[in-house]
Structures are given as C-alpha cells and as structure tokens.
Amino acid sequence: MNYTIILSEEAKHDETESYHYYELQRTGLGDEFLDELDNCYAALASIPEHFGFLDSRNLLRGMSVNRFPFKIIYEISAGSVFVFSVHHMSRKPYKNR
C-alpha cells in the first residue's frame, strides 16, 4: 500500500525557507536538499511505520534527512502521512502545536 503524503503549511514553509538558505550557500545545494526530501517522502509513502516514535502517545514519528540536519515530523492516519514539519535539528525539540 502506498500512503498519500500531505504537507502542512508549516512543512511547506520549512521547505521553502531551507531551500532558499541552501541556494545562498551554494547554487544547486537547495535543489539537492529538495531531492533528499523527495527521497524521504518516497520512503514515507511506502514504509512510514518503519521510523520511530517521538512522543509518549505513539502518534508522532520522525525520519532523518540524509546529508542535511533535518528531521521530518509526521503522523500516519487513514492511509495518509501528514507531515507537520521539516524540522531543523538545531532548533528546540519539536512540539506538536
């Protein structure tokens, strides 16, 4: 079964902001960041249960992004993966708002 990936507005904002930051560091690095996110989303669409829980209620899960210091924070519900945040690991621990 393939799950549908749904990005929250916060996750979309995180992606856009990080893309622009990486493009300022080196042309093309933002595209590499987005490629890594696409790889993560493909994995989440096929095996979202594979990645560990982040909370005591066993609802939120996290997947680390290769090459970049980010974790995708998500929840599985009714055949969908809802991505809350593309969370930079130097920020405070993620709390579901």
**Distance from C-alpha of 62 to C-alpha of 46, rounded to nearest angstrom:** 15
CA–centroid distance for 76 within its chain: 13
Note the pLDDT of residue 91: 72
Count Cβ neighbours within 10 Å for each residue of 17-49 and write b for 16 or more, e otherwise: ebbeebeeeeeebbeebeeebeebbeebeeebe
**Distance from C-alpha of 87 to C-alpha of 84, rounded to nearest angstrom:** 9
Radius of gyration of the chain (CA): 13
Domains of the chain, CATH where assigned: 4-88 (3.30.2310.20)
Task: Report pLDDT digits (tens) over 22-47.
Answer: 999 999 999 999 999 999 999 999 99
- pTM for this entry: 0.90
